C-alpha cells in the first residue's frame, strides 16, 4: 500500500479512504500480503485527473459504479467490430474532456445502455469515431449530452427500420452475396432523403 501511494503521489491515509469508498478495487491477497498492480495505479491516476476537472468524490464513485455495471467490449462487439466505423479507446479523463461537465452517471449509464460505450479494463471504448466527434460537437454547441443521447436512441430505432427495409429489398431482388456490395447505394438514398427532409423542415420553420 505504501509503494502504491508513493507511486500515485498520495498519502497512505488517502489511499485507505479511497479503498473504503470503493473507488479502487481490493488488492489481490496472497497470505498476509496485499498485492496492488498497474490497474490500481491507473484507477488512482484517473481519480486524480477527474478531481482536477471538478468532479467530486461522490460523483467519481457513481461514475465508477456505472462503469463496473456497464457492458464490456466483448458484449458490445459480440458480433464483430463495425465494418465501417472505427472504435476509439479513451481514458475516463479523456472522455470527460470530450464532454466537459456532461459526463454524469446518468449520461454514462445511457451511453453504456445504447452500446455507444463499453469498458475494457481501465479504458473506455466508444463504438464509433464519427458518433463520438458529432456528439462532442453538438455538446460544444450547447446541446445537453442527455438530449444528444435521447436523439441517438430515436435515430437508432429509425435506422434499424431502414436497415430492415433495404436488406429485405436486396434479399428479394438481388443475389445474397450482393448485399454488402450494394450497401453504399442504400446509404446514399438515406443521406439524400435526410438532406431533402432537412431542407423542407428548415424552410417551413423559416416561414412560420
Intra-chain end-to-end CA distance of the chain, in Å: 66
pLDDT of residue 32: 82
pLDDT of residue 74: 62
Q: Across the chain, what does the average pLDDT equal?
A: 86
Flag whether pLDDT at 96 surpasses 90.
no
Which stretches of the chain are assigned E, i.e. beta strand? 28-30, 33-35, 88-90, 117-120, 123-126
Least confident of 53-57, 64-68, 175-179: 64-68
Flag whether pLDDT at 71 surpasses 90.
no
pTM for the full model?
0.75
Quick: pLDDT tens for 73-86: 666 655 566 678 89
DSSP code of residue 78: T
Flag whether pLDDT at 67 surpasses 80.
no
pLDDT of residue 159: 94
Joined together, the cell numbers standing for residue 136 give 462532442
Place of cell 464532454: 99
Measuring CA to CA, which residue among 154, 145, 36 is closest to residue 100? Answer: 145
Q: Which long-range contacts (CB under 8 A, 24 or more apart) does 185-189 make?
A: 186/162
pLDDT of residue 78: 56
Quick: pLDDT tens for 157-206: 999 999 999 989 988 888 877 888 888 999 999 999 999 999 999 998 88
Flag whether pLDDT at 145 surpasses 90.
yes
pLDDT of residue 81: 64
Amino acid at each position: 500500500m505504501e509503494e502504491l501511494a508513493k507511486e500515485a503521489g498520495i498519502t497512505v491515509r488517502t489511499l485507505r479512504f479511497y479503498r473504503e469508498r470503493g473507488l479502487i478495487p481490493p488488492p489481490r491477497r496472497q497470505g498476509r500480503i496485499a498485492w496492488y498492480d498497474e490497474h490500481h495505479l491507473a484507477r488512482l491516476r484517473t481519480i486524480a485527473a477527474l478531481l482536477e476537472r471538478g468532479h467530486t468524490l461522490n460523483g467519481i464513485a457513481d461514475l465508477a459504479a456505472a462503469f463496473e455495471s456497464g457492458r464490456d467490449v466483448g458484449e458490445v462487439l459480440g458480433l464483430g467490430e463495425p465494418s465501417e466505423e472505427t472504435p476509439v479507446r479513451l481514458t475516463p479523463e479523456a472522455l470527460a474532456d470530450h464532454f466537459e461537465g456532461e459526463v454524469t452517471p446518468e449520461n454514462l449509464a445511457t451511453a453504456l445502455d445504447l452500446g455507444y460505450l463499453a469498458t475494457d479494463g481501465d479504458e473506455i471504448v466508444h463504438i464509433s469515431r464519427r458518433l463520438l466527434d458529432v456528439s462532442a460537437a453538438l455538446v460544444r454547441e450547447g446541446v445537453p449530452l442527455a438530449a444528444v443521447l435521447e436523439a441517438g436512441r430515436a435515430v437508432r430505432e429509425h435506422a434499424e427500420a431502414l436497415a430492415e427495409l433495404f436488406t429485405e429489398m436486396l434479399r428479394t431482388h438481388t443475389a445474397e452475396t450482393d448485399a454488402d456490395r450494394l450497401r453504399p447505394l442504400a446509404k446514399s438514398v438515406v443521406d439524400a432523403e435526410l438532406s431533402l427532409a432537412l431542407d423542407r423542415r428548415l424552410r417551413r420553420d423559416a416561414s412560420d
